[in-house]
Amino acid sequence: MQEILYAPWRTDYIAGKKIEGCVFCHISANDTDGVNLHVLHRDEHCFVVMNLYPYTPGHFMIIPHHHTDALEALDAQTWIHMSALAQKGVRMLKEGFGAHGVNIGMNLGRAGGAGIAEHIHMHLVPRWEGDTNFMTSITHTRVYSTDFDNIYNKLKELSKEYF
């Protein structure tokens, strides 16, 4: 018998308005639509945005405004700034959001596992002891136990203090 997992929140992904070109450049260029695009922070070098399909609640990304698929082509000032934002983001996730740990990573290029390979981005994934359970291990299904918009609103408020 086939099991069915209902995921109505994915309707926007399947049937919603498609962004032409680079989704990250779209977010970068639309600085007045931060709430609808789930932007947590924006400055002259980078922006911080929620991952719409998170691994765990609170998963966000740090993305340079400069469009490049090559980390080695990014100017040093922007890379240092991304690193500083990562430190602030880890502090926010641990102190403000209650994460027990944080995974930080970049998947560079399609062969490196990047879902959006044309524009580099750094993931910050909050982790909790015991957040991997039988659902993840056996069925390869993540259970997202809280509303995405509630998490965004909480992190948006925290970002005012931490970024």
pLDDT at 7: 58
Q: Is residue 154 one of the residues assigned to a domain?
A: yes
In order, the DSSP letters of 26-43 are: HHHH-TT-TTTTTEEEE-
**Which member of 41, 45, 59, 121 is catalytic?**
121
Q: What is the pTM of this model?
A: 0.84
Range of the domain at 66: 8-162
Please give the Cα distance from 139 to 137 (Å, whole number): 6
Q: Note the pLDDT tens digit of each residue in 100-126.
A: 999 999 999 999 999 999 999 999 999
* Surface-to-core class of residue 92, CB atoms within 10 Å of its CB (0-12 exposed, 13-18 middle, 19+ buried): buried
pLDDT at 53: 86
pLDDT of residue 163 exceeding 70, the answer is yes
Q: Is residue 55 one of the residues assigned to a domain?
A: yes
Per cent of the chain over pLDDT 70 is: 80
Q: What single-letter amino acid sits at 125?
A: V
Q: Is residue 3 one of the residues assigned to a domain?
A: no
What is the rounded average pLDDT for all residues in the chain?
87
66 is catalytic: no
Mean pLDDT of the region 31-35: 83
pLDDT of residue 141 exceeding 70, the answer is no
Q: Is residue 2 one of the residues assigned to a domain?
A: no
Q: Is residue 96 one of the residues assigned to a domain?
A: yes
Q: Which residues contact 9 (CB under 8 A, 6 or more apart)?
A: 148
For residue 94, the domain's CATH number is: 3.30.428.10
Q: Into how many domains does the chain fold? A: 1
H helical segments located in 18-147: 23-29, 76-91, 134-139
Please give the Cα distance from 30 to 60 (Å, whole number): 18
pLDDT at 85: 98
Mean pLDDT of the region 12-37: 81
* Surface-to-core class of residue 113, CB atoms within 10 Å of its CB (0-12 exposed, 13-18 middle, 19+ buried): exposed
